[in-house]
Structure 1
């Protein structure tokens, strides 16, 4: 999401406080004495209410990953999936705790600056690269939804077979949308934090959840595939139905496709690049208050994810695809409305996701250059071309979720917050062998294991030719 330009101290402030010294107001209101200056993290205190901060962070968490959660459940079983989802939600909350602690100790509220504080320029570059990779993955997942869903929507309205006309092909339409709608929006010099897409995105996904629950009771055990094949321009073919005669849900299962399951779940909870900007805008910003914002947001998204995955899985069982909307009939009016809502949400979100990438690249490549419209436009254009090529070449959205969820997600959730905590929190505050330091170390090791496990199984599946065995 777009990170509003913040005026932050780039150096470690002399009066930074430890976590135990943080009081009710992180921006002190007391008049300092002549020799001591208060920690000034930002120029002025934020004005965003607790409720609006929850709304913004929930929107940052919510993303296209929700479309693949039913597929993830089909390869773990309901109970195992819910246990894993609870674990990842709790771990995400703990990683935000580490991030907020580092922010309070260092007096900084930018992920890149925490990297610089911990490891110097190399840390800043590393963090910027990880954030860029994650946001490029998020952009790719959004554009992939446009590629797969827009042809079905247009074909339904025009009563035409999308496969029969080159101008209704997904690859062509995603390029048109990128050039006509997304590119002009990315050329804006400033875009308000989360902007106009926050309410729209959450409303669309809530509509999606309600529709999934309703369709479960309407469809029953019938698995309805999209009726994309038409006989002529005037009539749509009746969707093919295949019945699951057992309608038995798996409670616990383990298989090779689990290498896609956990990364998809991790991808769905990544919001860490947006935590510190929301912290900056929070009214009466204390670490405890911001942690409460994070906990409420993660809890709300947990229930939304759990309901979507459960009812989606109980609708299609083991036949559910990585892009769940493809499993419903193209002729269904309700699902058509859902597709339109999701398409609108992701289309308007792509420019917002691109802004932090451009900002990070400008900070890395042109840190001392003044604003240039030519550079501003070229970076946006190059990024859109790169993402479009990626979306056209990647066969399923599952692969995007898996790669990003196996690399940038564990880095942002597990590895970086833990090593920042170990480096930034000094030994005189927390001894090296104190329980918080040991917890942070184990947390980072868990992230490394998580990444190695996911990448190993994923590459193994690709090597033996199973990567495209299922999915849309």
Structure 2
């Protein structure tokens, strides 16, 4: 490598070209090794750049010989964006993060763990019974389909969050921008749904712990309180209280890990019995055929609601350190993908073991012993650490309900020509409330939720029928209907919010272009750098164009198409809601 020289102006121009290239391809590191091809004429000289085994070539831009060992310090932060074909939308979340001072601290691992723990619960053990109604083929396809629709709902939530300032995403904040007068209904439904699920978890603890105590000690029934469900609900409530008073979802990552270890043990238990126990008679296993329309529809809610975690998605987006689109897609894909794999594995192995004789809780079918007793204890641990994950969104929704005020202004939803909503109408708290929740308000709401949940769990022994209706309305709303409707409304090209976001993108694009004040030769140099980078990374020109058309983080999807898909998801959710409600009414009527 020669010792080369350049003028400050030429160095600055070349640095800007490299910075632009790094934003596009993110493969040019701060330190470059540059050599000149002295075998060519100076007017047609090529410089060779190598870094980490990637050779790049580009024509000179106005100097015969020069060297660049390191980019200027002002470009050192550009390597944070690491996505080919990056657009302004890819870094929008970071730009908006710096606007109001909000920034997340949660890691991607923490976000995945908390979201996965919200998804995977005791319903995992009911998956084999789903196949007994639908058959292996249809049941597996429905499990995967439900995962895809739920993942799309989560993705739409992340797209909606871009219209809000960093750290303010919530159903309440979005409803204030789209359907302000209906926001109280949305949040009330979410609060009731999360409250009901939390109470059901406490009831499960009360039902299982007496059996766990007897499993570990056959004489436990001689001590009355060890077989008293009220005692166990009270005892575990003492563990739930401190966890429920944690303000950040990220603080629950360690308990979520413990809960996932518990579900891991249950998976191992199911697989173990599948491998050592005799399988059901093949004539007692449905592969393609189903049990009938009524039986299939009765199992539909178990699968459709198995991925419900959308109540915590906005908290994940608010708290994650890197909330760029690729990062959010990784969180969603990892969580939903892991949950789908768990569901399919448990469903198939459990169903083949028992066939059509399977019941709702597969662990209850295993012979009494230490392994099955530990399995029941694992269920208790799983639901125990899932209760705070329900208290978190319940508290946020209740706070939004109490803060709600009727919108007496224009109800046009922020379309162009209507009064312009402020981009940040008020300082919003972590969940989009009109003001950050005070410590007193936080403690008061948490205390109310836990007290009511505790009293309800002690008073009733089953919430199946109530939860059936709550799940049919609340789960479908937050999983499919609201994400679809919110994105369809807020991304309307005539929406003032969408126009403002588009203007921010245009401003950023203009800022990027102004940084590259190059001559025709410099423009040619930049083009050559990008072309060479594509070749160096093993992609041909056609491959690069394909990459620009298709991106795994879905940033390539046209907004018009995405709006149609969002509307389709909302309609799908409404259909599911109606079907589930009709089935609930049918079964209640048939029971009488």
Q: TM-score range by the shorter chain?
A: 0.7 to 0.9
Gaps of 5+ in 2: 1-85, 404-433, 500-558
| CA distance in 2: counterparts of 1:434 and 1:188, whole angstroms | 40
| CA distance in 1: counterparts of 2:160 and 2:249, whole angstroms | 28
Preserved contact between residue 182 and residue 351 of structure 1 (Cα < 8 Å)? yes
| CA distance in 2: counterparts of 1:186 and 1:58, whole angstroms | 18
Preserved contact between residue 166 and residue 172 of structure 1 (Cα < 8 Å)? no
| CA distance in 2: counterparts of 1:79 and 1:245, whole angstroms | 15
Q: 2:101 corresponds to which residue?
A: 43
Out of 346, 354, 377, the position equivalent to 2:447 is 377
| CA distance in 2: counterparts of 1:64 and 1:407, whole angstroms | 20
Q: 2:577 corresponds to which residue?
A: 451
Q: 2:394 corresponds to which residue?
A: 357
The answer to whether residue 140 in structure 2 is matched with residue 70 in structure 1 is: no
**3-state SS in 1 of match to 2:386:** helix
Q: State how 1:185-196 maps to structure 2 within 5 Å.
A: 185-186=243-244, 193-196=251-254
Q: 2:541 corresponds to which residue?
A: none
CA deviation map 1:84-121 (0-9, x unaligned): 11111111121122211111134442222112221115
Deviation at 1:246, TM superposition (A): 4.6
Structure 1 residues 457, 343: CA separation in 2 closer, same or farther (over 3 Å shift)? Answer: same
CA deviation map 1:142-178 (0-9, x unaligned): 223313321211112231486x986455643454335
| CA distance in 1: counterparts of 2:466 and 2:219, whole angstroms | 29
Q: 1:416 corresponds to which residue?
A: 482
State the structure with bigger RCO (CA 8 A, min sep 6), 1 or 2: 1
| CA distance in 1: counterparts of 2:267 and 2:219, whole angstroms | 28
The answer to whether residue 194 in structure 2 is matched with residue 135 in structure 1 is: yes
**3-state SS in 1 of match to 2:484:** helix
Deviation at 1:384, TM superposition (A): 2.4
Q: 1:271 corresponds to which residue?
A: 309
Preserved contact between residue 74 and residue 250 of structure 1 (Cα < 8 Å)? no
Q: State how 1:26-175 maps to structure 2 within 5 Å.
A: 26-28=93-95, 40=98, 43-107=101-165, 108-123=168-183, 125-160=184-219, 167=225, 169=227, 171-175=229-233
Aligned positions, number: 411
Q: 2:6 corresponds to which residue?
A: none
**3-state SS in 2 of match to 1:338:** helix
| CA distance in 1: counterparts of 2:163 and 2:199, whole angstroms | 35
| CA distance in 2: counterparts of 1:285 and 1:188, whole angstroms | 22
Deviation at 1:416, TM superposition (A): 0.3
**3-state SS in 1 of match to 2:93:** coil
Preserved contact between residue 82 and residue 306 of structure 1 (Cα < 8 Å)? yes
Structure 1 residues 93, 190: CA separation in 2 closer, same or farther (over 3 Å shift)? Answer: closer
| CA distance in 2: counterparts of 1:47 and 1:219, whole angstroms | 47
The answer to whether residue 365 in structure 2 is matched with residue 299 in structure 1 is: no
**3-state SS in 2 of match to 1:27:** helix
CA deviation map 1:291-324 (0-9, x unaligned): 2321122111111110011111112222222122
| CA distance in 1: counterparts of 2:162 and 2:267, whole angstroms | 37
Q: 1:260 corresponds to which residue?
A: 298
Structure 1 residues 184, 370: CA separation in 2 closer, same or farther (over 3 Å shift)? Answer: closer
| CA distance in 1: counterparts of 2:206 and 2:569, whole angstroms | 37
TM-score normalized by the length of structure 1: 0.77
Preserved contact between residue 150 and residue 343 of structure 1 (Cα < 8 Å)? yes
Deviation at 1:127, TM superposition (A): 2.8
Q: State how 1:374-453 maps to structure 2 within 5 Å.
A: 376-390=446-460, 392-394=461-463, 399=465, 402-428=468-494, 434-453=560-579
Structure 1 residues 121, 40: CA separation in 2 closer, same or farther (over 3 Å shift)? Answer: farther
Greater mean alpha carbon deviation, residues 343-352 or residues 440-449? 343-352
Preserved contact between residue 284 and residue 356 of structure 2 (Cα < 8 Å)? no
Preserved contact between residue 267 and residue 401 of structure 1 (Cα < 8 Å)? no
Gaps of 5+ in 1: 1-18, 29-37, 223-243, 467-472
| CA distance in 2: counterparts of 1:426 and 1:453, whole angstroms | 30
Structure 1 residues 249, 374: CA separation in 2 closer, same or farther (over 3 Å shift)? Answer: closer
Preserved contact between residue 117 and residue 256 of structure 2 (Cα < 8 Å)? yes
Deviation at 1:139, TM superposition (A): 1.3
Deviation at 1:186, TM superposition (A): 4.1
Preserved contact between residue 128 and residue 350 of structure 2 (Cα < 8 Å)? yes
Q: 2:374 corresponds to which residue?
A: 337
Out of 348, 351, 374, the position equivalent to 1:310 is 348
CA deviation map 1:16-64 (0-9, x unaligned): xxx9851335222xxxxxxxxx565762433444344333322222222
Preserved contact between residue 259 and residue 457 of structure 1 (Cα < 8 Å)? yes
Preserved contact between residue 201 and residue 345 of structure 1 (Cα < 8 Å)? yes
Instruction: Determine which structure has more spread, i.e. the larger CA radius of gyration.
Output: 2
Deviation at 1:203, TM superposition (A): 0.9
Structure 1 residues 43, 65: CA separation in 2 closer, same or farther (over 3 Å shift)? Answer: farther
The answer to whether residue 527 in structure 2 is matched with residue 460 in structure 1 is: no
Q: 1:236 corresponds to which residue?
A: none
**3-state SS in 2 of match to 1:26:** helix
Q: 2:51 corresponds to which residue?
A: none
